[in-house]
Amino acid sequence: MASQIMESITMDGRKIILDCDPGHDDAIAILMTLASPEELDLLGLTCVGGNVSLDMTSRNALKVCELAGFTNIAVYSGCERPMVRQLSTAENVHGKSGLDLPGGTVLPEPTMSLRSQHAVDFIIDTLMSESTGTITLCPTGPLTNIAVAMIREPEIIPRIQEIVFMGGSAINPGNTTPAAEFNIYVDPHAAHVVLSSGVKLVMMGLDVTHQVQVTPSRLQTIKTLGRRVSQTVADLITFYGSFDLEQWGMEGAALHDPCVIAYLLDKDIFTLKHVNVEVETNDGLALGETVADWKFVTDRPLNCHVAYQADADRFFELLNDRLLNLP
């Protein structure tokens, strides 16, 4: 099945670069992308230090591609630490490998190799070589790679079609500190660069990602899909969801990063509001907070389309449909 999908990839789909820090939910976002070749033309996977160290996130991206049988995907390693601060990771959520499975097992080591080019250079070169306004950037981790690319080559900024990113929170509290969501907290200075860039932005933050929880019945449905990859996804969710159950009292794992890909595949799953979003970069209790002018009480420019409502049933119908495309 995977080989058939790879052969069917055309240039008709929306061109994207998926910038990630796998991570269980990143892994599912990658799989959704690989399973959607008619809609999404994946130009490359770029990795950043985030959920775990850069060497682990890069290796995990390779593992996920091999899991699905997509050994021809170009994977690039990028920035190992944030622009200003030291790297904060989330092994308490994702395990030491970043993709731990129940019972202490992990995915097999990859046979694929990383491309030699740095992820930031790949992002710059690709945006400069492709037609203006044809590439969407899809960051699901800290925004370091994207911000560094913008700083290194500002000419890429008007060439970006859109940035759809997972991070932040407009209405609800944070999940790393009382104020901040993990991806933005890890590199708030990078988030500031991106939010100030003038590029069309779509933010998939905690307001909406916490609405797509893998309840026991939804997990059971994934288990019964009968695919090798879907069973591994169920195992990933089982490990990953234990944190949300214990820490937040949720019904199951919140699938944060797949919301980015779901939005590209079916925008009607989500309801968005166009507001101003700024990020706190000063040290203190609010470091990394995304401050959204939800009630339009300032005259700051509207710079971000923020998702705040999701049709969870429709989201999981889409996820299950895509998992059936994989082996």
Range list of H helices, the chain: 2-8, 24-34, 54-67, 91-94, 119-129, 144-152, 182-186, 188-195, 206-209, 216-223, 228-243, 258-265, 312-323
The sheet with strand 14-20 has its strands ordered as 75-77, 40-47, 14-20, 135-139, 160-166, 201-204, 304-310, 270-275
Confidence of residue 2 (pLDDT cuts 50, 70, 90): very low
Q: Which whole number is the average pLDDT over 80-102?
A: 96
Question: pTM for this one?
Answer: 0.95
Mean of pLDDT values over 98-127: 95
- The confidence band for 137, taking pLDDT boundaries of 50, 70 and 90, is very high
- What CATH fold (topology level) applies to the domain 2-323? Inosine-uridine Nucleoside N-ribohydrolase; Chain A (3.90.245)
Structure tokens belonging to residue 60: 């995990």
Annotated catalytic residue 305: no
pLDDT at 246: 78
**253 vs 255: CA distance, rounded Å:** 6
Which residue stretches of 68-187 are H helix?
91-94, 119-129, 144-152, 182-186
Residue 37 pLDDT greater than 70, yes or no: yes
What is the spatial distance between Cα 171 and Cα 197, in angstroms, rounded to a whole number? Answer: 23
pLDDT tens per residue, range 177-192: 999 999 999 999 999 9
The residue extents of the domains of the chain are 2-323
Tokens representing 212 are: 């797509």
Determine the pLDDT at residue 225. Answer: 98
pLDDT digits (tens, 9 = 90+) for 222-268: 999 999 999 999 999 999 998 887 777 888 999 999 999 999 999 99
SS3 120: helix
pLDDT at residue 10 is higher than 90: no
pLDDT digits (tens, 9 = 90+) for 283-305: 999 999 999 999 999 999 999 99
Q: Give the active site residue among 210, 256, 274, 305.
A: 256
Are 12 and 40 within 8 A, CB to CB? Answer: no
C-alpha span between 21 and 53 (Å, rounded) = 9
Per-residue tokens: 49:
């230090």
